[in-house]
Chains A and B, each alone.
Chain A
Amino acid sequence: TQLLEQSPQFLSIQEGENLTVYCNSSSVFSSLQWYRQEPGEGPVLLVTVVTGGEVKKLKRLTFQFGDARKDSSLHITAAQPGDTGLYLCAGVGWSSGDKLTFGTGTRLAVRP
């Protein structure tokens, strides 16, 4: 069974602060996706990383895929209240077809 552990589990910060969320596994993934989910809604895809060592930027969000394709990180610069939500990483294994294995989740609250 492929497991994706996210840390921290909960994070409450002040507007303007920076933060990093980690997604770690002992398994190798062919690709990894990051989602944000707000209450009452489904997860919304933020980014997909597919190459080991890849870095992608989406405005104030920076995503990195580990060289060994076992881990990933999400860094948010100057967090805003609109960044509040549940952040989920999800990996596609080499032998799992299109099935996603979701991480344990990080709940972020940004206080104004």
Chain B
Amino acid sequence: SAVISQKPSRDICQRGTSLTIQCQVDSQVTMMFWYRQQPGQSLTLIATANQGSEATYESGFVIDKFPISRPNLTFSTLTVSNMSPEDSSIYLCSVAGLAGAWEQFFGPGTRLTVL
């Protein structure tokens, strides 16, 4: 596995503002993903963060709302833009491709509350 950290661990934000979440891995990985988990719910994939190119978004998620960066093989950011209370959720990054394996490992998550 790998050590995956996310910053911030939690935040309370005002509607209309934006928050950037960072995900750092302690080793190079092939794939990085961003998920959303609403309270008491399962995980929904937002996008695949591609190194050196634009992220691949899932249906229902768009780049203007959730811009993603991945400048190298160990780091990615997700921005939640123009936030509304409906964006209150846990945001998780995951990685795959450690030592050639495709299993996914998750960061601890960022708990976002939008007032």
Chain A contacts of B31 at CB under 8 A?
98
Which of A40, A42, A45, A102 has the most C-beta atoms of chain B within 10 angstroms of its own C-beta?
A42
- Of chain A, the residue at the smallest CB distance from B35 is A102
Which of A33, A103, A105 interacts with B104 by CB under 8 Å? A33
Question: CB-defined interface of B75-90 with A at 8 Å, one 1/0 digit per residue?
Answer: 0000000000000000
Within 8 A of B (CB), among A90-112: 90, 92, 98-100, 102-105, 107
Asked if residues B45 and A100 are in contact (CB atoms below 8 Å), the reply is yes
Q: Which residues of A contact B107 (CB under 8 A)?
A: 42
Q: Which of A63-107 contact B (CB under 8 A)?
A: 88, 90, 92, 98-100, 102-105, 107
Does B108 make an interface contact (CB < 8 A)?
A: yes
A40 to B6, CA, bound (A): 12
Interface size, A (range): 20 to 34
Contact status A41-B109, CB under 8 Å: yes
What band does the interface of chain B fall in when counting residues whose beta carbon is under 8 Å from A?
A: 20 to 34
B103 touching A99 by the CB < 8 A rule? no
Contact (Cβ within 8 A) B108 A98:
no
Extra contacts, 16 of them, besides A48-B103, A98-B102, A99-B33 (Cβ < 8 A), are A33-B103, A40-B109, A40-B111, A42-B92, A42-B94, A42-B108, A43-B43, A43-B106, A45-B104, A45-B105, A98-B31, A98-B104, A99-B48, A100-B45, A100-B104, A102-B43
**11 pairs of residues in contact across A and B, judged by CB atoms under 8 Å:** A35-B106, A42-B4, A42-B109, A43-B106, A88-B42, A98-B31, A98-B96, A100-B33, A100-B45, A104-B42, A105-B42
Nearest first, the 3 closest Cβ-Cβ pairs linking A and B are A42-B106, A105-B42, A102-B43
Interface residues of B (CB under 8 A from A): 1, 4, 31, 33, 40-45, 48, 92, 94, 96-97, 102-109, 111
Binding site for B on A (CB under 8 A): 33, 35, 40-45, 48, 88, 90, 92, 98-100, 102-105, 107
